[in-house]
Chain A
Amino acid sequence: MGEFPQFVRLPLARWVDQGVEWLTREYGPLFDWMGQVLLVPLVQLERLLLWLPWWAVILAVALVAWKVSGWKLAAGTAAGLIFIGTLGLWEHAMKTLTLVIAGTALAVVVAIPTGIAMARSDLLERVIRPVLDLMQTMPSFVYLVPAAMLFPLGKVPAVMATFIYAVPPAIRLTNLGIRQVPADVVEAARAFGSTPGQLLVKVQLPLALPTIMAGINQTVMMALAMVVVASMIGAGGLGTEVLNGIARLEAGRGFVGGLSIVILAIIIDRISQGLIRAHPR
């Protein structure tokens, strides 16, 4: 008697299946083309990171760390990256980094204009907010499948899935940052005859920047988390090591891969945090 009546079944699952099938059938070439467009810079970036000598990459990252924070972070960053190298995971780490950079870049490019638009229109905010909730709370495996069906397996669906998972905080905090700019400052800027564009560029964005940066920091961290999951659809990188470790019951392999991800995460987090603080306010 505890069972829900049989005749009231909503065939939502079938509808989604049909929708995805329809998309692949009708717009297959479009997605293929989009995939190619995305793939080219992705491959270039990965090639660059793998072509560069390991010490050059370490030096560059340490330099950035030193710039935004100080010698302590620079030393820690270099030590962490060298450690990953000694574990034999350099190539995997660079592949992961590629996905994180690409996913984040895509997210930022989309998030900032969206966040600005949301901040300007209450209606738009009401519409977009539930969509962001959906993107953030939906288990990420769920959209991995349609992404893999629409795009050729590999890096592109991984970047797309990463993008979907990681973009919400950047949008939210861009919106929040602009809305939090004190009303009296905005009013003063308007009183001196600023155009809406001048108001945005000269007042709202600079004042929202710390908040926007906090959003981007979260986006990077989420992108890194997603990269592990994305290895299931052949994205490559450190996630593959973790996945293989589980699949083959090799605890050591999984641990080493996982540890490397943690090190990357800490480095990326500290550098982007440093960027927020380095900004004069």
Chain B
Amino acid sequence: MALIEVRGLTKIFGPQPQRALALLEQGLSKEEVMAKTGHSVGLYNVSLSIGEGEIFVIMGLSGSGKSTLIRCLNRLVEPTAGEIWLRGQNLLELDERGLRALRQRTMSMVFQRFGLLPHRTVLENVAYGLEVQKVPRREREERALRWLEVVGLKGWEKAYPRQLSGGMQQRVGIARALCTDPEILLMDEPFSALDPLIRREMQDELLALQSRLNKTIVFITHDLDEALRLGNRIAILRDGQVVQVGTPEEILSNPADDYVAEFTRDVNRSRVLTARSAMYKPRAVVVERGGPWAALRVMEEQALSSVFVVDGEQRFVGLVTVEAAVAAAQKGLTDLRELAIREVPTAAPDTYLEDLIPVAAHSKWPIAVLDGAGRLVGVIPRVAVLRALAGRREAVDFPNPRSSAAM
């Protein structure tokens, strides 16, 4: 269910935005509008719906309008046109008082450069949101202390922000945002100023925190790895317009256009893509009671030197090689179960490719993908792991990998 509905949001910077807006609506490009009126278009006709309790990532390069977009949500930047609906209320119709109430209680914000008050202690910083609401000192400091503990900064309450490292300062920023108990958290590149190790740690902590708190989080980043790690859904912004919205896997496996594809090219796919997206429909399969002759026939048809063996309910048994099948046929053995090699690597459809890389490297056999009941649902040739990681374009020569997921 959508909590926030953004409809046709436009932001034009300049003294007479309405004039520029009229030109845009006549179909002029941003460059033409810039040349004609000197107005720059920050966002144009952005529509999004952000679900309750999800981490919604907005990503784009610098200048794509992502910071403008998140600031329109709490109107730190005043949109030129459009609507932002939250629980039946168009936020753009709020007056000063209503807007302050929204910022005080419903939406709080975490900033890239932390935005801490340098003249106040950590505790006073965390309590600031409550102080503005005129919550009595004692109560607000108690609540602030609790949040400091949650973000792991107990004992630092009397320190000043400058005495803290970047990561710790951002923890203060997060505690400050959570202290007012808002429904929605706006996070504007909160981890971009941190070094990579700390960034990873903070991402993990945010996910852990989110699993407990279930806030609706709008998260801005220019780092696709971060977007894929954190986002339930991702919106990709380019030149102030939404290019694609989707889950991490959708974005990676079906980039909407070249811009998104370009974006996703350098990403570490192994952390996002799962066995499901790399596996093929198993074709070299024989039912165990078919015996070695049936196995040999399948191998011949498929021009393979081994087949997977399943039982009557499609449950995975093992793998039979051509040598073993020929030997068994000559001896007159019929039980494929005895011939089957059991040391075949297996994976679940949700296993990350990251975890399959060492498996693929060390096994002689393809990886069998089994569902919860142990049924064989897919096969991943060892080389396919690496192909999938290399990106979609190279992978298309494989026969339609996604259809096998339906099996």
Contact = CB atoms under 8 A, between A and B. Distances in A.
A206 to B, nearest CB: 5
Given A191-B76, A193-B129, A281 B119 contact: yes
A97 to B, nearest CB: 32
B196 to A, nearest CB: 23
B238 interface: no
Contacts of B74: 191
A259 B116 CA distance: 48
B104 A193 contact: yes
A134 interface: no
B115 A184 contact: yes
Interface string B143-186: 00000000000000000000000000000000010001000001
Interface residues of B, number: 27
B129 A203 contact: no
B310 to A, nearest CB: 58
Contact of B115 (A188, A194, A207, A280): A188
A198 B118 CA distance: 16
Given A184-B113, A187-B111, A192 B129 contact: yes
Interface string A268-281: 00000000000011
A194 B117 CA distance: 13
Given A193-B104, A195-B100, A203-B117, A188 B111 contact: yes
Contacts of B306: none
Contacts of B102: 193
A193 B76 contact: no
Contacts of A189: 117, 128
A252 B111 CA distance: 65
Given A192-B103, A202-B131, A187 B115 contact: yes
A193 B132 contact: yes
A192 B116 contact: no
Contact of B103 (A191, A203, A206): A191
Contacts of B109: 188, 191-192
A193 B115 contact: no
Contact of B100 (A184, A187, A193): A193
A187 B117 contact: no
A63 B180 CA distance: 44
Contact of A192 (B99, B113, B118, B180): B180
Contacts of A192: 103-104, 108-109, 128-129, 132, 176, 180
Of residues B131, B132, B176, which shows the largest number of chain A Cβ atoms within 10 Å of its Cβ? Answer: B132
Nearest to A209: B119
Contacts of B132: 192-195, 198, 202
Contacts of A207: 117-119
Contacts of A191: 74, 76, 103, 108-109, 111, 115, 186
B379 to A, nearest CB: 52
B400 interface: no
A13 to B, nearest CB: 43
Interface string B94-125: 00000111111100110101111111000000
Nearest to B133: A193
B178 to A, nearest CB: 12
Given A185-B118, A187-B76, A193 B111 contact: no
Contacts of A188: 109, 111, 115-117
Contacts of A198: 132
Given A191-B108, A191-B109, A191-B111, 8 more contacts: A185-B115, A188-B115, A188-B117, A189-B128, A190-B103, A192-B104, A192-B180, A193-B104
5 contacts: A187-B111, A191-B109, A194-B100, A195-B132, A207-B117
Interface of B: 74, 76, 99-105, 108-109, 111, 113-119, 128-129, 131-133, 176, 180, 186
In the A-B complex, the 6 residue pairs with the smallest Cβ-Cβ separation, listed nearest first, are A188-B115, A193-B104, A193-B103, A191-B109, A193-B100, A192-B129
